Structure 1
Amino acid sequence: MISAWQFCPYCGARLDAREEGGRSRLACHSGCGFVHWDNPAPVLAALVEYQGRIVLARNRSWAEGAFGLITGFLERGEDPMSGAAREVKEELGLEAAEVTLIGVYPFARKHEVIIAYHLVGHGQIRLNEELAEFRLIAPEKLKAWDFGTGPAVRDWLARRGT
């Protein structure tokens, strides 16, 4: 179990490892009922098709030459499909159309679950402050990678027969 939690956020008592729901979880020592389920965070990924090409972007915190799909966290109460369109609008300034689910992928390394969509972007690309640069790649030249959003790229390419 990977968690930095030591104390109950409700009563302040120590958290102890115990079996809950068939797994070892941190639970309140005082018995107030708090259990830290430590569920993975839902992350949205958008494979954006723009003018017949795929948008890959580099986050400002990433190394030079490292590009990926548009991603962001799902907001409370938000529909995942709408959230993917929101992320594309926020990060690229594009309106989303034809949004379709590619798939759902575990990303254990970051304790996340990725919900990936393909969408067609319309408008003028305007990067927000999170992104340093972007590239437009012809779909037939796009290559999947082995981690994170790469499996979604692989599945999208396979469906296209690329």
Structure 2
Amino acid sequence: MGCPQCGWVHWNNPTPVVAAIVQRGEAVVLVRSHGWPETWYGLVTGFLEAGEEVEAAVLREVKEETGLDGQLGEFIGAYSFFRRNQIILAWHVIVPAEGVIVLDTNELAGYRCVPITE
């Protein structure tokens, strides 16, 4: 684990990631990243910034990726994503039903609002 020449140690600790189940009225907003197949959609996600509170990070990611201001709801859970060496911290976030989604097209290729009943 440590470099035998200089002693520097590389810790392979997981990276914390926030995820939001974004509720907009009676629907959930799902997003599609560039490079994903046309039929793949997922949650709003993103990395924490240095010194950032986790709760602030999830609301920031929702705002950056959808243009919507959200209200933090219930903490859903923490999940290991071993393939990417990440810990995902998920929250329920409520956004205004009448809010206009302005997608961050630098990060995302599209979105869908899926009825909660689906």
Q: What TM-score results when the alignment is normalised by the length of structure 2? A: 0.91
Q: How many residues align?
A: 115
Query: Is 1:94–1:125's contact at 8 Å kept on the other side of the alignment?
Result: yes
Query: Structure 1 vs Structure 2: percent identity of aligned residues?
Result: 42
Cα RMSD of the aligned pairs, angstroms, is 1.3
Higher helix share: 1
Structure 1 residue matching 2:62: 3-state secondary structure: helix
Q: Matches of residues 34-73 of structure 1 in structure 2 within 5 Å?
A: 34-73=8-47
- The alpha-carbon deviation at position 60 of structure 1 amounts to 1.6
Shift of 1:98: 3.4
Which protein shows a greater Rg?
A: 1
Measure how far apart 1:28 and its partner are. Answer: 2.2
Runs (4+) of structure 1 exceeding 6 A deviation are none
Gaps of 5+ in 2: none
Aligned partners of 1:140 and 1:118: how far apart in 2? Answer: 16
Higher relative contact order (CA 8 A, sep 6+): 2
Q: 1:30 maps to what in 2?
A: 5
Q: Aligned runs of 1:9-158 on 2, under 5 Å?
A: 26-30=1-5, 32=7, 34-122=8-96, 123-129=99-105, 130-141=107-118
Deviations 1:25-56 (A, max 9, x none): x2021354x21111111111000001221001
Q: Is the 8 A contact 1:100 1:117 kept in 2?
A: yes
